[in-house]
Amino acid sequence: MYFQWYPGHMTKAKRMMQENIKLVDLVIELVDARIPVSSRNPEIDKLGKNKARLILLNKSDLAEDKWNDSWAEYFKKRDYSVVKVNSKKGGGIKSIQGVIQEACREKTERDRKRGILNRPVRAMVVGIPNVGKSTFINALAGKACTKTGNKPGVTKGKQWIRLNKNVELLDTPGILWPKFEDQTVGLRLAFIGSIKEEILNVEELSMELIGFLKEFYPGILKGKYQIEEMEDNFLCLKEIAKSRHCLIKGSELDTEKAARLLLDDFRNGRLGKITLEFPYNYE
Ligand code: GDP
């Protein structure tokens, strides 16, 4: 899903978020494990202040596990609960309900002291487009469960999905707007396919990715495409085009096709598990 953001969009997303956040005790924020900082919008910290906070490192199957662990530590140090998940395959999902209870323990305790017993914890899922919010909600609640909350025409009120007797989840996720003003952030969001490739053309984008991979994952391009990892990124792209027979009219190298092929291989995990940003740069 590609998203075009303009000020009207952002204002609406923000207003919805402000309204919905009032209704919940816990904010479940999905980030992309490959870019845990660039896939966030720091405004969520303001919007979600005084709420219990849970960060899910989603798509953890596409990122390097040692970095997933470092990122989990990074956020835990900053007072978030954290779980690594793979919403697509259900990895990490089982532990979520327990973690939700734990994250909301203070609130449950407060309720108990006031004589309020058994009021379920209410939670909502938030995150930038394409981070996996719907996939996660379905994995957590089960498809049938999500649908029963969606009776068209019956009510315009908020729909809650009852996960168990202690937890209710708002059925529509909150959409956070990505912050692509920062060039590096925009680039990383474009690498993972979360924003339109308009900030750069596809060949330039692929050359940026080639540059990153040569530096941080040396040998990975050689292993995948049997090419030499030369200094010049465009030459590398041409080598990929040669190796994968990306040709225009049977003779000229089609570097645009090679660029799409590389980006596609990366996004689908076919280059292996790759983390694009590292916690030591954000300490
Ligand atoms: P939303 O826009 O935040 O609701 O994102 P979606 O739930 O529509 O997911 C966007 C894409 O990411 C879909 O193609 C999903 O199949 C994929 N996806 C979601 N979670 C995961 C995950 O944990 N691992 C992988 N590999 N893909 C995922």
pLDDT in tens, the chain (283 residues): 455 677 788 888 889 899 999 999 999 999 999 999 999 998 999 999 999 999 999 999 999 999 999 999 999 999 999 999 999 999 999 999 999 999 999 888 999 999 998 889 999 999 999 999 999 999 998 854 544 444 444 455 678 999 988 899 999 999 998 887 788 999 999 999 987 666 679 999 999 999 999 999 999 999 999 999 999 999 999 999 999 999 998 889 999 999 999 999 999 999 999 999 999 999 9
Q: What is the CATH number of the domain that holds 221?
A: 1.10.1580.10
Q: Are residues 14 and 120 in the same domain?
A: yes
| Atom of ligand 1 minimally distant from the CA of 128 | 3
Structural domain contains residue 139 = yes
Structural domain contains residue 38 = yes
Tokens of 67: 């970095």
Q: Is the CB of 240 under 6 A from ligand 1?
A: no
Q: How many domains does the chain have?
A: 2
Probe residue for ligand 1, chosen from 35, 88, 169, 175 as the CB with the greatest number of ligand atoms within 8 Å = 88
The answer to whether 63 and 33 have CB atoms below 8 angstroms apart is: yes
- What is the predicted pLDDT for the residue at 1? 45
The rounded Å distance from CA 133 to ligand 1 centre is 7
| Atom of ligand 1 minimally distant from the CA of 62 | 26
- What is the predicted pLDDT for the residue at 117? 85
User: Cβ–Cβ contacts within 10 Å for residue 2, how many?
Assistant: 11
Q: Is the CB of 242 under 6 A from ligand 1?
A: no
User: Cβ–Cβ contacts within 10 Å for residue 121, how many?
Assistant: 22
**Could you tell me which residues are beta bridge partners of residue 57?**
31, 84
Q: Are residues 15 and 153 in the same domain?
A: yes
Q: Are residues 63 and 127 in the same domain?
A: yes
Q: Are residues 14 and 135 in the same domain?
A: yes
Q: Residue 78: which domain range?
A: 7-175
- What is the predicted pLDDT for the residue at 150? 46
Q: Is the CB of 133 under 6 A from ligand 1?
A: yes
Q: What is the CATH number of the domain that holds 11?
A: 3.40.50.300
Q: Are residues 117 and 34 in the same domain?
A: yes
Q: What is the torsional sign of CA 262, 195, 199, 208? A: negative
Q: Are residues 68 and 135 in the same domain?
A: yes
ipTM for the predicted complex: 0.99
Q: Are residues 234 and 145 in the same domain?
A: no
Q: Are residues 139 and 204 in the same domain?
A: no
The rounded Å distance from CA 259 to ligand 1 centre is 22
Structural domain contains residue 130 = yes
Structural domain contains residue 180 = no
- What is the predicted pLDDT for the residue at 146? 47
Give whole-number Cα distances, 33 to 40, 112, 157, 213, 267, in Å.
11, 36, 33, 17, 13
The number of helices, as runs of H, and strands, as runs of E, in the chain is 12, 9
Location of structure tokens 């009776």: 151
Q: Are residues 170 and 205 in the same domain?
A: no
The predicted model scores a pTM of 0.92
Q: Are residues 227 and 88 in the same domain?
A: no
